Structure 1
Amino acid sequence: MNQYAFTGFPGFLAGKLITHLATLPDQIGTIYALHLPAQRPEALALKQELLATTSLQDEQLVLVEADITLPEVILDPIMRSVIEREVNYIFHLAAAYDLSIPYDVGYRVNLLGTKHMTAFAKRAKHLKRYVYFSTAYVSGRRQGTVYENELWHRVQFKNHYEATKYEAEAIVSRELGSIPATIIRPGIVIGHSKTGETKKFDGVYFVLKLMDQLRQAAPLPYIGRQNIEVNLVPYDYVVEATAYLAHAPVGLKRTFHLTDPFPHGAREVYRMIHEAMFGRSPRGTIPHFAAETGFSALQLSERYGVPKELLAYFKHQVHFDTTQTLRALNGTGIVCPDLQDYLPDIVAYYNTHKEAGT
Structure 2
Amino acid sequence: MNLTGGKISGTVLLTGVTGGLGAELLPRLLRRHPDCEVAALTRGGTPRQAQDRLEAALDFARLGPEERARVSLLHGDVSHPRFGLSDADWRALASRVGRVFHLAASVDFDLPLAESRAANVDSAREVLAFCGEAARGMRDFRLNYVSTAYVSGRRRGRLMEDELYLGQTFCNGYEQSKFEAEQLVRQAAARLPLTIYRPSQIIGESSEGRIRKFFGYYEFLKLAERGRMPVLPADPLARPDLVPADYVCEAMLHFDADPGAVGRCYHLTAGLERSLSFERIFSQMYRELAARRLDGKGPAKPRMFRPEELEWMASPEELRRFHLSPLKLLLRTYRAYLESERDFDCEATQASLARAGIALPDIESALWLSAGYALGARFGQTGRAGAARSGAARQPA
Aligned match for 1:353, one of 371, 374, 377: 377
Matching of residues 1-358 of structure 1 within 5 Å? 1-28=9-36, 30-38=37-45, 39-46=49-56, 49=59, 53-54=63-64, 56-57=66-67, 60-124=70-134, 125-126=137-138, 128-214=141-227, 223-261=233-271, 262-278=274-290, 284-289=303-308, 291=310, 297-300=323-326, 306=330, 308-356=332-380
SS in 1 for 2:125: helix
Q: Deviations over 1:169-202 (max 9, x none)?
A: 0100112221111101111111121211112322
8 A contact 2:41–2:78 mirrored in 1: no
Q: Which amino acid aligns with 1:350?
A: A
Q: Please state whether the residue corresponding to 2:59 is helix, strand or coil.
A: helix
Give the Å deviation of 1:22: 1.7
What TM-score do the two structures reach when normalised by structure 1?
0.88
Deviations 1:131-153 (A, max 9, x none): 11111100000001101111112
Specify whether residues 202 and 254 from structure 1 end up closer, same or farther in structure 2 by C-alpha distance, changes over 3 A only.
Answer: same
Q: Which of 178-187 and 293-302 deviates more?
A: 293-302
The percentage of aligned residue pairs carrying the same residue is: 27
Q: Distance in 1 between matches of 2:310 and 2:223?
A: 12
If the length of structure 2 is used for normalisation, what is the TM-score? 0.80
In the TM superposition, residue 328 of structure 1 has moved relative to its aligned partner by: 2.9
Change beyond 3 A, Cα 1:324–1:176: farther
Cα distance change of structure 1 residues 130 and 80 upon mapping to structure 2, 3 Å threshold:
same
Letter in 1 for 2:324: L
Change (3 A) 1:233 1:301: same
Q: Secondary structure at the match of 2:188?
A: coil
Q: Can you give the 5+ residue segments of structure 1 that lack an aligned partner in the other structure?
A: none
Find the aligned partners of 1:295 and 1:115 in 2 and give their Cα distance: 45
Q: How has the CA–CA distance of structure 1 residues 154 and 275 changed in structure 2, closer, same or farther, with 3 Å as cutoff?
A: same
Question: Matched residue of 2:355: which SS?
Answer: coil
The CA distance in 1 between the partners of 2:231 and 2:44, in whole Å, is 47
Displacement of 1:287 in angstroms is 4.1
| 1:321 to partner: Cα distance | 0.6
**RMSD of the alignment, in Å?**
2.9
Q: C-alpha separation between the residues in 2 aligned to 1:42 and 1:101?
A: 26
Report the equivalent of 2:3: none
CA shift, 1:226, in A, is 4.9
Instruction: Return the letter of the residue paired with 1:100.
Output: D
| Cα shift at 1:122 | 1.2
Query: SS of the counterpart of 1:23?
Result: helix
Shift of residue 59 of structure 1? 5.0
> Could you say what secondary structure the match of 1:209 adopts?
helix
Question: CA–CA distance in 1 between the matches of 2:102 and 2:369?
Answer: 30
Alpha-carbon deviation of 1:77? 2.9
Q: Is the 8 A contact 2:232 2:305 kept in 1?
A: yes
Letter in 2 for 1:343: L
For the residues of structure 2 that align with 1:351 and 1:14, how far apart are their CA atoms?
Answer: 22
- How far 1:307 sits from its partner (Å)? 6.8
Q: Distance in 2 between matches of 1:276 and 1:51?
A: 26
Q: Quick one: structure 1 residues 285 and 108, their matched pair in 2 at CA, closer, same or farther if it must change by over 3 Å?
A: closer
Contact 2:14 2:40 in 1 (8 A): yes
Q: CA deviation at 1:25?
A: 4.6
Q: Are the aligned partners of 2:202 and 2:243 in contact in 1 as well (CA < 8 Å)?
A: yes
**1:282 deviation in Å?**
5.0
User: What residue identity is the alignment partner of 1:142?
Assistant: R
* Higher deviation after alignment, 42-51 or 59-68: 42-51
Partner secondary structure for residue 337 of structure 1? coil
Gap regions ≥5 residues in structure 2: 1-8, 292-296, 312-318, 384-397
Secondary structure (helix, strand or coil) at the match of 1:72 reads helix
**Separation of aligned partners in 2, 1:354 and 1:68:** 28
Conserved? CA contact 1:15–1:46, under 8 Å: no
Secondary structure of the 1:22 match is helix
